[in-house]
Amino acid sequence: MFPVSLEELIPEDHLVRVIDLYVAKLDLGQLGFENAQPKATGRPAYDPADQLYLCGYGYGYGYFQRIRSWRRLEAECQRNIEVMWLINRLKPDFKTIADFRKNNKVAFVTTCRAFVQFCRSVGLIAGDLVAIDGSKFQAVASSRRHLNLNQLKRQEETLDKRIAQYLADLDAADKAEGEQVVDRTAIKAALAKLEAKQQDNRSCQALMKSMGLEQFNTHESDARMMRTPKGARVAYNVQTAVDAGHGLILHHEVTQDGDDRKQLEPIAKAAKAELGQDTLTVTADMGYSNGQQFQACEEASITVYVPPNRTSNPGGETLFERQDFSYDAEEDRYQCAAGQWLTLKQRYKGDRIYQAAVSDCAGCALKAQCTTAQRRYVSRHAQEEAFERMAQRMQLHPEMMERRRSIVEPPFGNLKQWLFGNGRFLLRQLEGTKAEMALAVTAYNLKRALSVLGARKMMQLMG
Ligand code: SF4
């Protein structure tokens, strides 16, 4: 007799109902969303809650349909009954959705944190063990638009040579006037082009030096050229801290660093602050090995499990390694396998180098196993003790690397495969990529929470 209502078409435990309930609980004004309070005058703006529903839906549903494009979301508003139910049959156009995204970049990040806090409050995040890892996500920028100081210098040298060649051609043409026909106008035009290019090159170099930049992309100044499995790409390095309990991402950061060497301390400290704990146990791969940061983490009551990455003996396996020398802390010296002492030679920024006496090494029966030089040197890192404690911890818990892999790799696999498709951002600049990653991480965490608790339980906890 009566047409079926939208309400009847949406199952009780559907994802959109969870999103609806969760967003309704948020204080959007406090999270930093624009237009959270309607203006007294003028045409009422779209309710940010409705648009947040839409974003949440787009990304949450993106796990199945891969909808990240705002134009596709606009289309979904017109034909998809789940979206119609979620945003009360509103039909925001592409520009409205894009503006909402543009104007609320910071708010997406705070919303992501709010969901982490919710997960923590309902026991989905235990905080016993956290695994840290990083992955490169391509920026919306072409590598052809990427400038690098070294490349510019090489280009400047090439241009210098070509300009010199054209000038020499012009001289030769002057001398040979009357003997042969040379198109001087064409040479002058080519020269003018090269000189303009040279001028551009020098201005670029001067500007980059004044800004302290080694590299710069004219399409996206915040992105950096990074090594990825597909080769060098203009990208961002996304860091995540994943809780071992249910694999939820409790903290993430979009960074401009090409590698992970300086990321351990900031990410571990941020994860600890997010959890509100006095202590934390963290594991990461060898790329995070950094003596200074090992020390800093220890001082912040963070127990770290990272395989220490030390420079190996350049002589290869046949030569004694550093651990074959025993350190005498009292006298600050090393003893070698032949029982001779290596004394302090020099210090540099806290690092120390010790050397054996030439006379000791000259007559040593073990010399062939020790050094190919006149005497043997051994270096000691400024944070050597922190490296040694780390090596001991790793020896006692070799299973940590296996655990790290199983905790931290699935989230990146999911984010890249399902949400980012080709592992590429849609938004530009650091602020835009942070907002996009925050939406993706919220969607990932929502999915994880739903698969652990189920929609009904989630709604019960939210309600
Ligand atoms: S070569 Fe020198 S440092 Fe090496 S074991 Fe012999 S004496 Fe010691």
* Secondary structure in 3-state letters for 8-46: HHCCCCCHHHHHHHHHHHCCHHHHCCCCCCCCCCCCCCC
Identify which of 313, 323, 327, 366 to mutate to test ligand 1's pocket (most ligand atoms within 8 A of the CB). Answer: 366
- Residues 377-389 have pLDDT tens digits of 999 998 899 999 9
Q: Measured in angstroms, how far is the CA atom of residue 342 from the centroid of ligand 1?
A: 9
Distance (Å) from CA 338 to ligand 1 centroid: 6
Calculate how far, in angstroms, residue 360's C-alpha sits from the geometric centre of ligand 1: 7
Q: What is the DSSP letter of 182?
A: -
Expressed in angstroms and rounded, the spacing between residue 191 Cα and the centre of ligand 1 is: 63
Mean pLDDT of the region 128-143 = 91
What confidence score (pLDDT) does residue 349 get? Answer: 84
Q: What is the pLDDT of residue 63?
A: 47
Which atom of ligand 1 sits closest to the CA of residue 376?
A: 3
Q: Is 352 strand, coil or helix?
A: strand
Band (170; pLDDT cuts 50, 70, 90): confident
Amino acid of residue 179: E
What pLDDT was estimated at residue 16?
83
Q: How far is the CA of 363 from the centre of ligand 1 (A)?
A: 9
Distance of CA 187 to the CA centre of its chain: 49
Distance 325 CA to ligand 1 centre (A): 10
Residues in a beta bridge with 380: 352
250 pLDDT more than 70: yes
Which helix (H) or strand (E) covers residue 418, if one does? none
CA contacts within 13 A on the Cβ side of 131: 21
Which pLDDT tens digit goes with each residue over 405-437? 999 989 988 888 777 766 788 888 999 999 989
- Averaged pLDDT score across all residues of the chain: 85
Give me ligand 1 centre to Cα 311, in Å.
20
Using the mean position of ligand 1's atoms as its centre, give its distance from the Cα of residue 314 in Å: 16
Ligand 1 mutation target, pool 326, 341, 361, 378, most atoms within 8 A of CB? 361
Ligand 1: residue whose CA is nearest its atom 2 = 361
CA of 317 to the centre of ligand 1 (A): 16
C-alpha–C-alpha distance, residues 36 and 444, integer Å: 25
Nearest-atom number in ligand 1 for the CA of 342 is 3
Pocket (CB within 6 angstroms of ligand 1)? 336-338, 340, 356, 360-361, 364, 366-367, 370-371, 376
- Band the pLDDT of 18: cuts 50, 70, 90: confident
pTM: 0.80
Looking at 3.10.450.50, 3.40.50.970, 3.30.420.10, 3.30.1600.10, the CATH number of the domain 130-140+221-309+389-451 comes to 3.30.420.10
Write the residue with the smallest CA distance to atom 5 of ligand 1: 338
Q: Where are the domains of the chain?
A: 6-103, 130-140+221-309+389-451, 144-217, 322-375
Comparing 86-100, 136-150, 242-256, the range with the smallest average pLDDT is 86-100
* Listed ranges 78-87, 89-98, 329-338; the one with the highest mean pLDDT: 329-338
Give the rounded percent of residues in the chain with a pLDDT score beyond 70: 89
Pocket test for ligand 1, best of 324, 354, 376 (most atoms within 8 A of CB): 376
Q: Is the pLDDT of residue 38 over 60?
A: no
11-27: average pLDDT = 84
Q: Determine the atom of ligand 1 nearest the C-alpha atom of 364.
A: 6
- Positive or negative, the CA dihedral 427, 239, 350, 307 is negative
Of the segments 159-168, 198-207, 286-295, 419-428, which one has the largest average pLDDT value? 286-295
- Give residue 382 CA to ligand 1 midpoint distance, Å: 24
| pLDDT cut 90: percent of the chain above it | 45
Q: Which of 334, 358, 359, 364 to mutate to test the pocket of ligand 1 (most atoms within 8 A of CB)?
A: 364
Q: In this model, does residue 46 exceed pLDDT 70?
A: no
